[in-house]
Amino acid sequence: MHEPLTAAEYKAIAANLELPTNAFIDGAFRPAKSGKTFTTTNPATGEVLAEIAACDASDVDYAVAKARDAFEDGRWRLQSPADRKATLLKLAKLLERNRHELAVMESLDSGKPVRECQTVDVPDTIHTIRWHAELIDKLYDNTNNVGANALAMVVREPVGVVGCVLPWNFPLLMLAWKIGPALAAGCSVIVKPAQETTLTTLRVAELAHEAGIPAGVFNVVTGSGRDVGEPIGLHMDVDMVAFTGSTPTGRRFLRYAADSNLKKVVLECGGKNPAVVLEDAEDLDLVAEQVVNGAFWNMGENCSATSRLIVQASIKDELLSRIGAYMREWKTGDPLDPENRLGALVSKNHFDKVKSFLDDVKSEELPVAFGGETLKGAYIEPTVVDGVTPASRLFKEEVFGPILSVTTFENLDEALALANDTNYGLTASVYTGSLRKAIKLSREIRAGLVTVNCFGEGDATTPFGGYKESGFGGRDKSIFAHDNYCELKTIWIDVSDRSVDETIR
Ligand SMILES: NC(=O)C1=CN([C@@H]2O[C@H](COP(=O)(O)OP(=O)(O)OC[C@H]3O[C@@H](n4cnc5c(N)ncnc54)[C@H](O)[C@@H]3O)[C@@H](O)[C@H]2O)C=CC1
Ligand code: BAL
C-alpha cells in the first residue's frame, strides 16, 4: 500500500495539489487576526508554494480559549474510550486515503525525498495514530491495596490544553508523536508547526475534523517561534507544552513555564549520536549499511542521526571502504524523483549552517573521505570526514545535515569515554560480536536509546527521548508517552466502620 509511485506520477500530484493557507481554529480555517501572512517555499527549487497566516498572541489567545471550552464541556474527553478510539481510527483511515497527497505535500514543503515520505513518514504517522487509538480502551486505572478501612484509587485524567510545538524535520511524524497520545488521553491541542513546514499539519487538522474530532479539540496556529511559540509557552491557560526542536529553544520553554503557570514541559531536543564499532563486529557490510543509513537518512536532519563514527583503529580503513561502497546507493537530487535518497536541506538558512561545518573542515584541513561539496540549490553531498578529534567543532556540535565524523580508539574504555564525551544523550549504536561488550556499552553509554548491531528508533511500543541536554520531562512514543498527557489523581475513600450508618449496621 505504501510503495512509491513513479516520478511522473508524483509530479502530476504536485501539479494538482490544493494547499491549505490559514490557521485551523475551532473546527475552521481562519486567517490571522492581523491579516498578515508569511511565504513558504519549496527548498529544492526556491519556488513559492503558498502564503500562510502569520498568527500572533491574539490568535493564540483565541485558540486557547476555544481549546479550553472544548476541554471543559467534555465534548472529547468525556466521550467513551471506545468512541474516541473509533474517531482516531477513522483519522488513520483518512490519512491512508490521502497518503500520496500527504507524501508529496511533505516533500515539496521540506525538501525531503518523496520516497521517504511515502515509505516512512506517512505510514509511521498512520501507525502512530492507530497505536495510540488502540491503547485507549486497554488501559486500566488502579485500586490499591490499602487495607479494609479505605478504598484508594489512582486514576488517569487528561492534563488539559496542550501546546505541541513542532520541528521541520519530520513534520507529519512529530505531529503524530504528540497528538496521538494527547488526543488519546482526552486533551485538547494547540499545534504550532515549524514555519518551514506548515502544510501537512494543516491538512491533517482538516482530516481530523472530517474524521469527527470535535471543533476546538485540534487547533493549528501558524507562524513564527517568537509570535506563536512564545505566547503558547507563556500562556496562563495552557497546561502543558510538548516540544521537539533545538536545545536552546527547549531551554526557553522551561523559562516560559517558570515565568507563567508552571505548566508541564516535555522536551525532545538535539543529539550528537555515536556509532561505536569494535574490531570484533561480525559483519562489516552490515555495519557500513547501518552507519550510512543512520548518518544520511533524511539528509542527516534527524535528532537521532549517527553523527560520530567511533571505530577501533585496526578496522577503520576497511570499514570506510565499505561505507564508501554503500554511499554510492545514496543519490542526491530532485526530492520528487523516487530514485533519490537525499533531497534538499530544509531552507537556505539551514543550508548555510550545515555548510559552515564543511568550511571548518577545510580550514582545519581534516581529511574528507567521501563527499564534502555543496551542489547547486540547497543540496549537500553526503560527507564523511576522517581524523576528527574531540577538540573539533564537528565532534561537539549538532550538525543536522549529512556529515559524519570519524574518530578512532584503541580499547573499550577509550571508546566509552569518546561516546559519552558530549552534552547530548539521545541515541547511540554499538556494533560488536561480543554479548558482554554489547551489554557493557549499551548500559554505560548515557543515552535514551542504544541500538546493538543495527540503527533505528525502535517501534511504536518503545519510548524515545534523551538523557542530558537531549531531553526533559518525559518520552515520546509508547505507553510512557500516553502518561505524559495525563495527570494522576488519587481518590481516597474512607470505608472504615465509623463511616457506616449505625441504622444499616
Ligand atoms: N528534533 C530535533 O532535535 C531538532 C533539532 N533542531 C536543531 O535546531 C537547529 C535550529 O533549527 P530551528 O528550526 O531553529 O529549531 P527550533 O528549536 O528553533 O524550532 C523548533 C520549534 O520551536 C519554535 N520556536 C523557535 N523559537 C522559538 C521561541 N523563541 N519560542 C518558542 N518557540 C520557538 C519554532 O518555530 C519551531 O516550531 C537545527 O539546526 C538543529 O540542529 C531542529 C529541528 C528539530
Ligand atoms: N527522528 C525523530 C525525532 C526527531 O528527529 O526530531
Per-residue confidence in pLDDT tens, the chain, 505 aa: 889 999 999 999 999 999 999 999 999 999 999 999 999 999 999 999 999 999 999 999 999 999 999 999 999 999 999 999 999 999 999 999 999 999 999 999 999 999 999 999 999 999 999 999 999 999 999 999 999 999 999 999 999 999 999 999 999 999 999 999 999 999 999 999 999 999 999 999 999 999 999 999 999 999 999 999 999 999 999 999 999 999 999 999 999 999 999 999 999 999 999 999 999 999 999 999 999 999 999 999 999 999 999 999 999 999 999 999 999 999 999 999 999 999 999 999 999 999 999 999 999 999 999 999 999 889 999 999 999 999 999 999 999 999 999 999 999 999 999 999 999 999 999 999 999 999 999 999 999 999 999 999 999 999 999 999 999 999 999 999 999 999 999 999 999 987 555 555 4
Q: What is the ipTM of this complex?
A: 0.96
pLDDT digits (tens, 9 = 90+) for 298-309: 999 999 999 999
Residue 346 Cα: closest atom of ligand 1: 13
pLDDT at position 2 = 87
106 counts as catalytic: no
The rounded Å distance from CA 409 to ligand 1 centre is 33
CB burial string 280-308: b at 16+ within 10 A, e below: ebeebeebbbbbbbbbbbbbbbbbbbbbb
| Pocket perturbation via mutation, ligand 2, pick of 173, 266, 476 by most ligand atoms within 8 A of CB | 173
Look-up of cell digits 540503527:
455
Q: What is the rounded distance in angstroms from the CA atom of residue 144 to the CA atom of residue 484?
A: 22
- Which residues fall within 8 angstroms of residue 270, CB to CB, at 6 or more apart? 246, 247, 303, 398, 400, 424, 426, 469, 470
* Burial (CB count within 10 angstroms: exposed 0-12, middle 13-18, buried 19+), residue 68: middle
pLDDT at position 332 = 96
The rounded Å distance from CA 388 to ligand 1 centre is 27
pLDDT at position 505 = 47
| Pocket perturbation via mutation, ligand 2, pick of 117, 166, 244 by most ligand atoms within 8 A of CB | 244
Q: Closest ligand to 397 CA?
A: 1
pLDDT at position 347 = 97
What cell numbers appear for 75 in the block? 465534548
In this structure, the residue with its CA closest to atom 31 of ligand 1 is: 229
CB burial string 377-411: b at 16+ within 10 A, e below: bbbbbbbbbbbbeeebebbebbbbbbbbbbbbbee
DSSP-derived letter for residue 55 is -
pLDDT at position 497 = 84
The rounded Å distance from CA 184 to ligand 1 centre is 26
In this structure, the residue with its CA closest to atom 4 of ligand 2 is: 303
Q: Closest ligand to 231 CA?
A: 1
**Ligand 2, CB cutoff 6 Å, lining residues:** 167, 169-170, 174, 244, 302-304, 457
Q: What is the rounded distance in angstroms from the CA atom of residue 496 to the CA atom of residue 505?
A: 12
Catalytic residue among 268, 381, 397, 469: 268
Q: What is the rounded distance in angstroms from the CA atom of residue 153 to the CA atom of residue 148?
A: 14
Beta strands in 88-231 (DSSP E): 142-144, 150-158, 161-165, 188-192, 218-220
The rounded Å distance from CA 82 to ligand 2 centre is 30
Q: How far does Cα 218 stand from its chain's mean position?
A: 18
Phi, psi of 181 (to 5 degrees): -70, -30
Enumerate the H helices of 328-404 as residue ranges: 348-363, 393-396
In this structure, the residue with its CA closest to atom 6 of ligand 2 is: 303
**Ligand 1, CB cutoff 6 Å, lining residues:** 165-169, 192, 194-195, 224-226, 229-230, 233, 244-246, 249, 252, 269-270, 303, 350, 353, 398, 400
pLDDT at position 499 = 58
| Radius of gyration of the chain from its Cα atoms, rounded to whole angstroms | 24
DSSP-derived letter for residue 229 is I
Q: What is the rounded distance in angstroms from the CA atom of residue 399 to the CA atom of residue 176?
A: 25
The rounded Å distance from CA 464 to ligand 2 centre is 9
211 and 92 Cβ atoms separated by less than 8 Å:
no
- Which residues fall within 8 angstroms of residue 138, CB to CB, at 6 or more apart? none
In SS3 terms, 432-488 reads as: CCCHHHHHHHHHHCCCCEEEECCCCCCCCCCCECCEECCEECCCECHHHHHHHCEEE
166 and 201 Cβ atoms separated by less than 8 Å:
yes
pLDDT at position 253 = 99
| Pocket perturbation via mutation, ligand 2, pick of 166, 174, 299, 398 by most ligand atoms within 8 A of CB | 174
Residue 233 Cα: closest atom of ligand 1: 31
Q: What is the rounded distance in angstroms from the CA atom of residue 184 to the CA atom of residue 30?
A: 26
The rounded Å distance from CA 178 to ligand 1 centre is 16
pLDDT at position 500 = 57
| Pocket perturbation via mutation, ligand 2, pick of 169, 455, 457 by most ligand atoms within 8 A of CB | 169
- Which residues fall within 8 angstroms of residue 232, CB to CB, at 6 or more apart? 60, 64, 163, 165, 190, 192, 221, 238, 241
Q: What is the rounded distance in angstroms from the CA atom of residue 440 to the CA atom of residue 420?
A: 13
